[in-house]
Structure 1
Amino acid sequence: MNHKARLQALRSKLALSSTRALLLTHGPDVRYLSGFTGSNAVLLVFARSTVLLTDGRYTTQARQETAGSGARVVIGKRLASEACVLLLRAGVTSVAYDSNHTTVAALSRFEAALPESHGKVARRRFFSPMADSPVASLRQVKDSEELQGMAEAAAVGCQIFEDVLHHLAAGVAEREIAAELEYAARRRGAEGMSFDTIVASGRRSALPHGHASAQPLPRRGFVTMDFGVILGGYCSDMTRTVYMGKPTREEKSAYQAVLEAEQAGIEAVRAGVTGASVDAASRAVLRRAGLANYFSHSTGHGVGLEIHEGPRLAAKSEDVLAEGMVVTVEPGVYLPERFGIRIEDMVVVEATGARVLTFSPKELLML
């Protein structure tokens, strides 16, 4: 990963807002800019230099992972104090921080670490909140290396779906299916799951986020599986819904409507459109099928080092899609106490359309 280029792109953004220094503590941001994957770090980005502060547990790891990034590694015990010393030595009078990922407790530690001569008001002014993180916007657009890694993560997700199909049988607990997915992911080289695996069957399939329970799979009914893996730090995300037994005409019709809504959403994805327009494309199909009132969430979201990133594909989203973004398209319908269906793919935004990364079949599987 070209961390130097990412840092330079960030500095260009900071210069536009006359920001002389940026303080980052959010793990995925630190990793994106420096390569460091440890759990305790502060990254200080100045106009001409970068400093990574961490504790003694990560001395060797930090130096190995940040090699080539241009970041200087500083090992300390009290990172807030060490960071403030470096900021004051650099002569900055104010440092920006990402207010979306800096807790009140963390900010209080940094403020308390400033010399008493600053006074309470001056301490608060020293740390300047930045609500629209320039790092978040950089992370939304993936480079070729990131896209390759995410394609590999998506491929593992598709493979483990195939691995688990023969485990689906009436009477098997949802948690057992989730466990099989997670075991298959590890066996195929994943570092872990990108979120808590969702397996929801029968009436529970009407729960959009129905985490796997002890409920046994039914002899007849839908089974929704929403899962993803982490590979090389990057997440995948995919949902498939299958049917145990033989579906009714209504169930087949609802499944076909969701499938067509998902395809319409994918076809709407391309550089230059808004997230709202993609959402509208999927929602229009369900409206024509009389199912729009049962679609209770947004159509999709960005994916990367985190499972939920920008842009948002939602009814009021003004986020504009750009080439290199990776987003999900995941319409669903949920009829309370009856059944639910969701189909989700992960796609790359390109100039004239979308490239689908998740290649598992989507025709209704009847088991």
Structure 2
Amino acid sequence: MNLFERTKIILEKHDIDGWLVMSSEGNDIHAQYLLDVEAHIMHFIYISRNEKDHVVSCVMEAPMIKKSLERQGIEAEVSTYKSFKDIGSILAKLLKDKKIALNFGEDVLSSSGTGYAEFLPVGLYNALLKYSPTTKFVSAAPIIYELRSVKSPEEIEDLKHATKATIEILEDIPNWVKIGMTEKEIKAKLEYEYLKIGTLSFPAIVANNEHAADPHHNCSDKKVEKGVLLIDSGVKTRRICSDITWTYWVGGNPPEDFLQAYDALYYSKKVSYKYIKAGAPANMPAIKCREALQERGYDTDKLYFHGLAHPIGFVVHDIGPGMSMKTDPSRLLVENMVYSNEPGLYWENKWGIRLEDDLVVGKDGAIVVSYNPKNPLLI
């Protein structure tokens, strides 16, 4: 079942006549998500509950859009425009007297809100009101959540493919990283390897020593020296991102405090997996992970200042409840949701360690599709 067919089922469920997606220069990821091609010039996708689906595109990009739709088995009419006035006329006919979902959030300033649907520019919304005064517009948040929070079997296979490719590249790191290389040089080489097989999930994080204490460190010209090397990276080989962090030790044997912290994180992650299954509260794995670290003597209030896991999907931070101790316990994990699992410990001005894997929420437990070395790899 393709994405257009899945969307029609959701439209029927919510009694919505259609879903309109607009994108220009990639400002709404759902255009690429639905078309499976990057179109840059302003275009519109209209998926109808009962009528024929429609894509409105510029003349230049219409042929590649048609080919992509055919490849996916999607029967949709592709119209072209030469002026913005043409767009208004086409949309007015499609949307007249209907209930149409648009990509705006109704509650964006809330941890459980609909910020994930917030893509529609205000100016475009005002234009739609002008051209379609009899149309009732509603938020597409329910459609987006149901399409993207739970993954299809094909998407889960995509995840396995991406994580396998990522692991192979991370395993090779000790063969070419050398003391004296800069973080940026390592990042460039790493991303080159990813780009040979897919697209980047996100700009890679390469952090040596004190930089590893900053979870979202921006790579610098710092030359790698003896100590911690944290690499957080991923690749999208098909339609799902990988997101994996390995922490290496550069130069000789690691000190005991590093080994103990690494082992504690490895252990705490194993504990958290016991609480990751369909129907479980999304906050519980994070709570149990922190308790395990505290048992090992680590002050998680000071040393661990982010959540345990985030959803992964078409984008690396995808849709669904985060696994955090602060997540509302009423938010439950659902079978075939996809997550990272990334506990970390950070000592400011010294170093940090993070061990991140990717997993699928199973009916009876977590299905882990990547791994971290039980003992840190040495460079």
Same-fold status (TM-score > 0.5): yes
TM score, norm. by length of structure 2: 0.85
Within 5 A, what are the aligned runs for 1:1-367? 2-15=2-15, 19-25=16-22, 27-39=28-40, 40-49=42-51, 50-67=53-70, 68-78=73-83, 82=87, 85-100=90-105, 101-103=117-119, 106-112=121-127, 114-115=129-130, 126=135, 128-130=137-139, 132-187=141-196, 189-190=197-198, 192-219=199-226, 221-244=227-250, 245-288=252-295, 289-293=297-301, 294-311=303-320, 312-318=322-328, 319-367=331-379
Q: Is the Cα contact below 8 Å between 1:163 and 1:184 reproduced in 2?
A: no
- 1:194-219 superposed Cα distances (whole Å, 9 cap, x missing partner): 10100111111101111221111112
- 1:6-27 superposed Cα distances (whole Å, 9 cap, x missing partner): 2233223332xxx223222364
Equivalents in 2 of 1:267, 1:155: separation in Å? 23
Equivalents in 1 of 2:85, 2:136: separation in Å? 12
Structure 1 residue runs without a partner (length 5+): none
- Of 348-357 and 67-76, the range deviating more from structure 2: 67-76
Q: Which amino acid aligns with 2:207?
A: A
Q: Is the Cα contact below 8 Å between 2:174 and 2:377 reproduced in 1?
A: no
Q: Is the Cα contact below 8 Å between 1:199 and 1:210 reproduced in 2?
A: yes
Structure 2 residue runs without a partner (length 5+): 106-116
| Change in 2 beyond 3 A, CA 1:20/1:185 | same
Q: Which amino acid aligns with 2:87?
A: E
| Change in 2 beyond 3 A, CA 1:83/1:317 | farther
How far the C-alpha of 1:95 sits from its partner, in A, is 2.8
Q: Is the Cα contact below 8 Å between 2:272 and 2:289 reproduced in 1?
A: yes
| Change in 2 beyond 3 A, CA 1:154/1:328 | same
Structure with more helix by fraction: 1
How far the C-alpha of 1:90 sits from its partner, in A, is 4.6
Q: Is the Cα contact below 8 Å between 2:11 and 2:18 reproduced in 1?
A: no
| Change in 2 beyond 3 A, CA 1:99/1:115 | closer
| Change in 2 beyond 3 A, CA 1:81/1:263 | farther
Percent of residue pairs bearing the same amino acid type: 25
Helix, strand or coil: the match of 1:218? coil
| Change in 2 beyond 3 A, CA 1:239/1:211 | same
Aligned residues: 354
| Change in 2 beyond 3 A, CA 1:54/1:223 | same
Helix, strand or coil: the match of 2:192? helix
| Change in 2 beyond 3 A, CA 1:5/1:328 | same
How far the C-alpha of 1:126 sits from its partner, in A, is 4.8
